[in-house]
Amino acid sequence: MLRQGAHHILAIDVGSQDDTDLTNYGDSLSGWWLLWKRWNPFATPVKVPNLPDIQSRLAYVSCVRQLEEVKSSDYCEYIRPPIDKYKTLQFANFDEIKDVGYQHGMKNFVYLYLY
């Protein structure tokens, strides 16, 4: 957009936050250990990412460098609405997420317009 001649660029980040509270399995994973963790009611539960989580992480990792560049740039205004409690595929909450984004946008655009 900058190369196309845009003077004001807004980057709206609507991606879900990456969950970093996963289990470190080390270099190998024992099926017996996993079975014991699952059946033992006193053991801490093992968080295993499912296929959509893995796919979204791969997409996120490929964009991290570019996202950090945009956040620290002086040519772009980075805005992130408070949508961290929603997951990527929560289409049923579309209207609620849209309203959160609209309210956040109204606050930010009024601020950008006045200053």
Task: For residue 25, give both structure tokens.
Answer: 């399995």
Residues 77, 98, 66: CA angle, nearest 5 degrees: 35
State the number of CA atoms in the 13 A half-sphere of 78 facing the CB: 11
Q: Which of 93, 89, 78 is nearest to 16 (CA)?
A: 89
pLDDT for residue 11: 79
pLDDT for residue 63: 75
pLDDT for residue 78: 82
Question: What is the distance between the alpha carbons of residues 114 and 41, in angstroms, rounded to a whole number?
Answer: 57
Task: For residue 91, give both structure tokens.
Answer: 């289409």
pLDDT for residue 22: 65
Residues 103, 67, 54: CA angle, nearest 5 degrees: 95
Going from the first residue of the chain to its last (115 residues), give the mean pLDDT of each consecutive group of 10, the final group possibly shorter.
Answer: 82 69 74 86 81 78 76 81 79 87 82 59
Each domain of the chain, given as residue ranges in start order, spans 10-114
pLDDT for residue 72: 81
